[in-house]
Amino acid sequence: MQHLIKSLVSDALDAALDAGELTLVERPEITIERPRELSHGDWATNVAMRAAKGAGMPPRQVAEVISARMTGHPDVAAVEIAGPGFINIRLSAAALQRVIVSAREQRADFGRSDLGGGKRAQVEFVSANPVGPMHVGHGRWAALGDSLARLLGHVGYRVEREFYVNDQGVQMDVFAESVAARYLELCDREVEFPESGYRGAYITDIAREILADEGESWADTSAAERESHFKEKAYAQVLAHLKHVLSGMGVEFDVWFSERTLHAPGADGGPSAIVRAIARLRETGYIFEEEGATWFRSTDFGDDKDRVLQKADGDYTYFAADIAYHWDKFEIRGFDLVIDIWGADHHGYVKRMEAAAAALGHPGKLELVIGQLVNLFRNGEVVRMSKRTGEMVTFEDLLDEVGPDAARYFFLRRSTDQALDFDIALAKEQSSDNPVYYVQYAHARICSILRKAAVQPDADDVAPLAAALVLADVDLALLGHDAELALFRKLAEFGEVVEIAATQRAPHKLTRYAEELAASFHQFYTVCHVIGDDPALTAARLAVVDATRIVLELVLALLGVSAPQRM
């Protein structure tokens, strides 16, 4: 619809220019917007104000000339000039009613667009270190990345979800040493717990499992042998745990990418990805040697300082692996768009990573979304956590307590760059204070109406009922109540909201829309009785109800939240 309105304005401007009613040096860009105020119509354009200066006429006079050529279209009920020179366009009831047909025909494809043009996009998110449980911030980024992937899919990208596993490096060694120390304790051996070891109780749990599986034999091997074996055992356990918890919130990754593969020789037995990526940068002249180390000249791309890739001792830095990882994303796998979601505590790495992507020859293909942190509250009081002792409320704890729907919805309700206060008590509350129930209630209420209309109170799925109840020749022209028209307008916004949310990488716009749509429905429900004596009106309103159900289910699906038919 917005495209139609835009060309209507554009054509009117051209016609006025052709007729000599306006003369312009430069044709202004045509933009249309939805006015906040209903009395200002369905759409408005500021083109007259933008053109006024060049035309040498007052804005309202320019508006007169343009709007005179906009009437007569069957979708347009009125064109008015208002304020400093806005042209306000009011749609006809027929134009508004069409959204009901579209939604019911297109169903899960409603609001789909081709912004992505079939390009391949990768969303990499969570990527928690496989040495312990995830914190609630990881939960937020999981919800964010998954919903963003769903959104991108709806606007025409081919999307893959990826989890990068940092399974190499000193933290893995520390992890192994910690497990080994607890294991020895369990075997009643004298042992000093490593200074910087992980002190969480889960370490002991892992050690206990190994003990149960394999007995005490590892107590008498060399420390190196023991730790090397425990590292793999514990790593496998934690990885399985991560998958399990994420899956519990409905987040499934297409690829779990191991950092180790970047260090290992290539598939053809040739050099590793790290070696090849650095070679690539060397070719383009961004590598230099100094003080025995190999450096990347990231300052050429606006970074604060140059960065070490290979240390004087020969080891590669984490950053070197990260460059190789992104080299793989672009060069080997050929993604057109790569979105990495990082926690706010990594924002200091943004510039160097962007520099690396540019130096590899892929500027603009990498986007870094910074997710702010989560503060946990319970009944308004901060939940204190100690990293040192490992005492914390994990993502898993939270998920167990509030459930996947409330967790996802709350995680997604705030804009990404805003720190999130998560109140556990509120998320658990099954009341109107809790927005996720407000939206789900609207959906359940609709399903109840459809079951009642079909006289099938025990039906498990209302979709076939709705299809049978509302025939193709339903007369939507019967619908003109203010509450009905308001609901049509809200339904018609869906496609725009999806496009904006996807483009701005802002799933929180969907939660807002979901609440607005639910509110529009509840208002309609209050004043428009659906099932009544007039079969034609009943059929028409059942179509409205069904269209609303479809869009509510769809917006919740994009959020990854369930749409229950009863609650």
In the window 12-51, what residues touch RNA (CB under 7 A)? 33-37, 39-41, 44, 46, 49-50
User: Is 258 among the residues that bind RNA (CB under 7 A)?
Assistant: no
Closer residue to RNA in complex, CB, 160/553: 553
CA distance 439 to 466: 20
Per CB under 7 A, the segment of 188-196, 237-245, 307-315, 394-402 that binds RNA is 307-315
Q: What six digits make up the tokens of 275?
A: 């070696």
Residue placing its CB nearer to RNA in the complex, 117 or 292:
292
Nearer to RNA, 184 or 453 (CB): 453
Q: For residues 374-413, which are near RNA according to CB under 7 A?
A: none
Is residue 141 a contact point for RNA (CB under 7 A)? no
Which of residues 211, 344, 459, 537 is near RNA by CB under 7 A? 344
Contact range with RNA by CB under 7 A, out of 101-109, 156-164, 278-286, 417-425:
417-425
Rounded Cα distance, 99 and 104, in Å: 8
Residues 313-332 interacting with RNA (rule: CB under 7 A): 313, 315, 317-319
250 binds RNA (CB under 7 A): no
Cβ 132 to RNA, closest distance in Å?
Answer: 12
Part of the chain binding RNA (CB under 7 A), chosen from 216-224, 228-236, 355-363, 437-445:
437-445
Segment (H or E) for 342: strand 337-343
Among 141, 441, 488, 494, binds RNA (CB under 7 A): 441
Residues whose CB falls within 8 Å of the CB of residue 22, separated by 6 or more in sequence, listed in order: 13, 16, 51, 55, 57, 62, 65, 66
Span interacting with RNA, options 100-108, 132-140, 215-223, 338-346, rule CB under 7 A: 338-346
Nearer to RNA by C-beta: 317 or 562? 317
Q: Are 130 and 242 in contact (CB under 8 A)?
A: yes
Q: Which residues pair with 481 in a beta bridge?
A: none
Select from 164, 156, 197, 163 the least CA-distant residue to 180.
Answer: 197
Residues 351-370 that bind RNA (CB under 7 A): 351, 370
Give yes or no for a contact between 64 and 71, defined as CB atoms under 8 angstroms apart: no
Which residue, 4 or 19, is less far from RNA as judged by CB? 4
Task: Tokens 């990854």: give the residue.
Answer: 560
Which CB contacts under 8 angstroms, 24+ apart, belong to 347-350?
349/319
Binding status of residue 519 toward RNA by CB under 7 A: yes
By CB neighbour count within 10 A (0-12 exposed, 13-18 middle, 19+ buried), where does 182 fall? buried
- The least CB distance from residue 304 to RNA, in Å, is 6
Contacts of 133 by beta carbon, 8 Å cutoff, 6+ apart: 200, 202, 241, 245, 392, 394, 395, 396
Residues 152-171 that bind RNA (CB under 7 A): 166, 168-171
Phi, psi dihedral angles at 32 (to 5 degrees) = -125, 155
Nearer Cβ to RNA (120/378):
378
Nearest Cα to Cα of residue 309 among 355, 372, 345: 355
Please identify which residue in 449, 476, 561, 563 interacts with RNA, judged by CB under 7 A: 449
Per DSSP, the three-state class of 406 is helix
